[in-house]
Structure 1
Amino acid sequence: MDSLLLILMLIAVLGVGSQWVAWKFQLPAIVVMSIAGLLAGPIFGLMNPEEAFGDLYRPFISIAVAIILFEGSLNLNFKEVRGLGKPVFRIVTWGAFLAWILGSLTAHYIAGLSLAVSFVIGGIFIVTGPTVILPLLRQSKLKPTPAKILKWEGIIVDPFGALLALFAFEIILFLSADGRDATALLYFFLASLFAVVLGIVFGKVTGWMFESGHLPEFLKSPAVFVAVTTCFIIADEVKHETGLLAVTAMGMTLANLGISSIKDMRHFKENISILLVSTVFILLTASLTRDTLIDVFRPEIIGYVLLMLFIVRPLSIFLSTVKSGLSLREKTLVGWIAPRGIVALTVASYFATILADEGFEGASLVTPLTFALVFSTVVVHGFSIGWFAKKLDLSSEGSPGVLIVGSNRFTNSIAKVMKELDIPAVVVDSSWDRLNRARKEGIQHNHCEILSEQTEYTMDFTPYDYLLAATEYDSYNALVCSTFLPEFGRKHVFRLPKQGDSGDHIVDIDHTIGGKEVFVPAEGLEELKYKLKSGYVLRKTTLTDKYSFADYKNDRDDETILLFILKQSKQIEFFAEDMEATSSAGDTIVSMTPPSKEFNKIQEKLEEKRNGKS
């Protein structure tokens, strides 16, 4: 393929298409992207981006790495890190250090790399990035302790692996090069200090412009993109490789300023960064040669991967968590799960070229070694985490859960029915008074403001796939749904119908705002609460081969309000606007039934019992 435009189109289509396929079929995205890139590049020879881009290839990869590292550092708020507990602290400090030393020695003695190259890539391979680990956690539904450890390890260590590799590279370069004096090393540390200061300044200026209103909303994402690339390039021009340090400092500064606009920068992360991750991964895998793929199967590389999987990772976790309070089962699971992702591959590719330019022995093996480790860990850990967690009894099995916002008579009733059906459900409210009834009835509850940034770190969202906003305020329900749309998905976010004569008197809400309305024709929370007070009951009806959904609809009272269907597959379908409900034998329908019908059924049963006795 000769046309650069066609190559750009193919890279974008394969990158975003791979993300969609991974989402649709619940597969690790990095595996799908790897296969797509390999098919388009070395296997079928449709393109070779490195040759096509020429001199632009390396600068593009460098900027992409900078933005990906900025994204990772944007999650590092020191206030949240402080309260993570002893196991997480141990793993991200001593555990990371042990993983670096053990991984570097393994690369040297098993894979045959020089010590210099080994200690550089050893730093990179401590990274278990959030772009890989977070989707796996959602998919496997781990219990809170292991989920929290794996999540925060990925977030905290993500930006530091590249920095560890950077410092190792410069120190080893100084120690191994002839004719270098301490001036070169001093210059590097001064340049690093300049990069940190530059990143802090860019972070503070960007935060100030966001908070003071000097940037309109439509310019915020482009402004962050320009600021990150400018910060990276200035630092990199002063001293190569220090640009990574500058953007990390910039992201951490923004994360700790406490500004309300941090959400806007996370939108930047969700949009620009995901696109970059997709395209860069296709670029890197499509640029691999067939010789590199053959090198992946060399005995020393296979041996290195096996030792990293079965010795280095478990040993670093077990040693760093001695007397930390973790159980043996939790240590075993955390010691097994360590998928390397896009950060490891992109940063390793970045350093592979630099190490080769400096003439280090074994630099040519960095790319196949990295690809082998990344692909192996993602496949092995991605497909084993759920099974292994169940074997260790560390998986929250059962139906997908429901997060219910707002505690009242109706939400408590629906949460109680879900509990009876073994559906994980939690009622969230910022008022202890409103939560009092839920507490008395034994309903799982959480006292927090769902829109608070702190809630993201104090509450585990892993068990919950659906969100139902059911407070008395229509505008608040819509706001909650809009806020959580990116996390739960548009099809899994619901709100009560707008109220007629109560609430905040919203006549109309744009169809693009908030989630779908449920439980129509009921007119909001007040009507639902009134119906319960007047004798309506929540009823469960299980369909059979002889009693179909059509039969149920014919038999039900006209005033019955359909709530949701629990499928045999454990999936939940809420009765929402424009929903075409389908149900089959084994499914359970939950509804609010008028008291008259329920009373008649009770009377019929009592009559049957009397007749039986007589």
Structure 2
Amino acid sequence: MIEAAGILVLGFFAQWLSWRIKIPAILPLIIIGLLVGPISTFLTANGHKFIDGDKIFHQDLLFDVVSISVGLILFEGGLTLKFKEIRTLANTVRNLIFFGTVITLLGGGFAVHWIMGFSYQISFLFGALIIVSGPTVIGPILRNVRANNNINTILKWEGILIDPVGALVAILIYEFIITGQSNEHFTIFALKGFLMIILAGLVTGGIFAWLTYIILKRNLVPHYLRNTVMLGIVILTFAVSDTISAESGLLAVTVLGMILGNLKMEQIKHILSFKEDVSIILISFLFVMLSSRTNVDDLAMLLDYRSLLLFLVIIFVLRPLVVFLSTIGSTLNWRERLFIAYICPRGIVAAGVASIFSVKLSSPELGILSPEQSAEAAMLLPLTFMTIVGTVIQQGLTAKPLVKFLGVGRSEPNGILFLGANEAARFMARYLRSKGISVMLGDTSVYNIREAKNMLLPVYEGSLLSDEALEKVDFSQFGQLLSTTSNTDINILANKIIGQEIGDKNVFRLPSERELKVDKETLPPNLLFNATYDFIGITQIFRKRPKIMEKDVNSMEEFQQVLEENDKILPLFILKPGHRAEPVTPMISSVTEGDRLVYINL
């Protein structure tokens, strides 16, 4: 009990640590698992591990727990794969998916065979495992390095699309191995078994996707039970498919996620919160537990020159080759191509799928492979962990200096993000957009969202504070946040959370009614529009459809003079050269030649 509880607590600590120091969660999860697992044997008198995953779950139970956990992760990956995005993506991204899959599978497979001496079956399975990248890994790196739009867009969409594609290829290679091993020689019967696994996965996933659609369409489940029922459906899909044809469950839940992710239903959006509630717990527990199962001998082998050579081939041979072929005929310059070729960290799906395959194939009791191949399969997990840790550390530490060296960084963003799509926010957003400033509004109100769309304003339909928004919204495009909702507590929370993405000095909010009654010198420095009106007051002003005025203010003295001589104006922004705007606050201190004051006559 204490070991299971310890893994959960350490997993949650690793998640918090990754958020705190802004690195992908997979890195601290694996490192902590290694510290309490194989590395801890050097600190104990009897050579035992502090925590050993093998003591928590026995063989069959371990298979089931890991399989279902990986199935849930793959279901989440399937939800992110939108068919319409594949049709509309640029050629470069489509090429990265195709060449990335083919070259990494074949090149990685041959590299492992020639360098490590593994059999072709295990070698190509490892090649399939390292295909994936993933948005949960690439996202923090992109936010940190602030690369330009070309690089940011290509790497972001590659990470989203290649996760389920890579996982699907790995599943198929795995099924090929186990069906091929079912006879002494590969015969038509093995091929039939392989096709049966694919058929069972596709049909079962499709049937349960249809049933889920009926349940959601007819509202047969109350809202508060939706995530729970969805969890049950995913597990049931996995179990039924695996019963029909062994090892087809992973394919079935991936298909289930892909189909549901492409349904045009409002209820599907709520399923995405499924990963927020369950996936973090599973990921935290799974990877600390699995990395704790690694042995010292496995780690020692990773220090061998062959493992290092394999890592270098993956990073500096296969990835550049993929990018070179994928960008032929594109508009990218050589600096952008070089940076994209340098960035391809591996993530959670790679570790998850490697875990289940390593456990399954290396088990002597199952008798799937020969003893030699079982020993090779046991090395799948540590080799994958080496690739994950190596790529995250190498690219996480060096990507930002490389962006500066190559000169492919993003210029200072001039976009403005609005928390709330109410009347005042819509009014200001439309004006700013007319000045060449990019804007986006985020709201949960159906009415506000509809009105914003009617005004042709870009709007995020949901909470900007959700995990989904933090993953999907490219905050690097926006230099400022204006929190304009009626709830001061929400505004303060938004500034705190999003301030970690774009900087605390770049987040602003409306004052509360109480703050309007105190001395301005005691107020926070980031209150909008000179801290003169709260939400109700500002809404009443904008409902009158006022005309926005502009006036040249070339210095701080001139700006202050305008405010003193015109006490019947509401100052909104300072327009700056280069399509930039800064909101007027009580502590504004930057007014220079060429600036213009944007205001409303009251």
> Shorter-chain-normalised TM-score: which range?
0.7 to 0.9
CA contact (8 A) 1:124 1:348 kept: yes
The residue aligned with 2:57 is 53
Aligned identity (percent) is 31
Q: For 2:306 and 2:27, how far apart are their aligned partners in 1?
A: 23
Aligned to 1:468: 482
**Secondary structure of 2:265's aligned partner:** coil
Comparing 35-44 and 292-301, the one that deviates more: 35-44
| TM-superposed deviation, 1:22 | 1.6
Counterparts of 1:534 and 1:82, CA distance in 2: 42
Residues 528 and 449 of structure 1: CA distance in aligned 2, closer, same or farther (over 3 Å): closer
Q: Cα distance 1:400–1:75, how it changes in 2: closer, same or farther (>3 A)? A: same
The one-letter amino acid paired with 1:392 is L
More displaced 10-residue stretch of structure 1: 205-214 or 517-526: 517-526
> Which one of 39, 52, 72 corresponds to residue 35 of structure 2?
39
Match of 1:114 in 2: 119
Q: Is the 8 A contact 1:95 1:319 kept in 2?
A: no
Q: 1:142: which partner in 2?
A: 147
Q: Does 1:152 align with 2:157?
A: yes
Using structure 2 for the length normalisation, give the TM-score: 0.76
- AA aligned opposite 1:219: L
Partner of 1:299: 305
- Provide the rounded CA distance (Å) in 1 between the counterparts of 2:266 and 2:493: 17
Q: Distance in 1 between matches of 2:230 and 2:395?
A: 34
* 2:163 is equivalent to residue 163 of structure 1: no
Rounded Cα–Cα distance in structure 1 between residues aligned with 2:427 and 2:267? 36
Give the drift of 1:198: 1.0
1:77-476 matches, cutoff 5 A: 77-175=82-180, 177-179=183-185, 181-357=187-363, 358-359=369-370, 360=373, 362-398=376-412, 402-404=416-418, 410-411=428-429, 426=439, 447-451=457-461, 460-464=474-478, 467-468=481-482
Aligned CA distance change for structure 1 residues 104 and 528 (closer, same or farther; 3 Å): same
1:510 maps to which residue? none
SS in 2 for 1:110: helix
The alpha-carbon deviation at position 315 of structure 1 amounts to 0.7
Contact 1:498 1:524 in 2 (8 A): no
Task: Deviation per CA, 1:469-505: give whole Å up to 9, x if none.
Answer: 659xx69x99999999998889998765799xxxxxx
SS at match of 2:254: helix
Task: Report the Cα offset of residue 139 of structure 1.
Answer: 2.6
Is the CA contact 1:198–1:235 (under 8 Å) kept in the aligned structure 2? yes
Q: Is the 8 A contact 1:563 1:591 kept in 2?
A: no
Q: Is the 8 A contact 1:408 1:434 kept in 2?
A: no
AA matched with 1:34: I
User: Aligned equivalents of 1:40 and 1:458: distance in 2?
Assistant: 34
In structure 1, C-alpha distance between the alignment counterparts of 2:492 and 2:233, rounded to whole Å: 31
Query: Are 1:430 and 1:449, in contact at CA under 8 Å, matched by a contact in 2?
Result: no
Counterpart Cα distance in 2 of 1:413 and 1:323: 39
Deviation at residue 159 of structure 1 after TM alignment: 1.5
Alpha-carbon distance in 2 for matches of 1:81, 1:145: 17
1:18 and 2:42 correspond: no
Separation in 2 of the partners of 1:462 and 1:593?
25
Q: 1:410 to 1:180 in 2, by over 3 A?
A: closer
Question: Which letter does structure 1 place at the counterpart of 2:56?
Answer: A
Alpha-carbon separation, structure 2, partners of 1:261 and 1:464: 29
Q: Match for residue 69 of structure 1? A: 74
Cα root mean square deviation, aligned: 4.6
Structure 1 432/267 Cα, relative in aligned 2: closer, same or farther at 3 Å? closer
Aligned pair in 2 of structure 1 residues 107, 536: CA closer, same or farther (>3 Å)?
A: same
Per the TM alignment, residue 300 of structure 1 is displaced from its structure 2 partner at its CA by 0.7
Residues 1:433 and 1:248: Cα distance change in structure 2 (over 3 Å): closer
Which deviates the most, 286-295 or 215-224?
286-295
Range 33-42 or range 111-120, more displaced: 33-42
TM-score normalized with structure 1 length: 0.74
Would the alpha carbon gap of residues 180 and 309 (structure 1) be closer, same or farther in structure 2, given more than 3 Å must change?
closer
Structure 2: which amino acid aligns with 1:383? L
- Contact 2:550-2:596 within 8 A present in 1 as well: no
Structure 1's 162 and 399: CA in aligned 2 closer, same or farther, altered over 3 A? closer
**How far 1:87 moved relative to its partner?**
0.7
Q: Deviations over 1:193-251 (max 9, x none)?
A: 12211111111211221232111111111111111111111112222321111001100
Query: CA separation in 2, counterparts of 1:93 and 1:66?
Result: 24
Q: CA deviation at 1:263?
A: 1.4
Letter of the structure 2 residue corresponding to residue 204 of structure 1 = W
Q: How much does 1:268 deviate?
A: 0.6
Consecutive unaligned residues of structure 2, counting only runs of 5 or more, are 41-48, 364-368, 442-448, 514-525, 558-563, 575-580
SS at match of 1:17: helix
The amino acid across from 1:43 in the alignment is I
| Counterpart Cα distance in 2 of 1:275 and 1:213 | 28
Structure 1 residues 365-386: Cα deviation after superposition (integer angstroms, max 9, x where no partner): 2222111111101111122222
Q: Which structure 1 segments of 5+ residues have no match?
A: 436-445, 500-515, 544-554, 566-571, 597-614
Could you tell me which of 538, 541, 545 is aligned with 1:527? 541
Return the alpha-carbon distance in structure 2 between the equivalents of residues 169 and 348 of structure 1: 10
* Distance in 2 between residues matched to 1:239 and 1:540, nearest whole Å: 75
Distance across 2 between alignment mates of 1:22 and 1:540: 45
C-alpha distance in 1, partners of 2:599/2:494? 35
Q: Mean Cα displacement is larger for which, 172-181 or 242-251? A: 172-181
Question: Partners of 1:484 and 1:236 in 2: how far apart?
Answer: 47
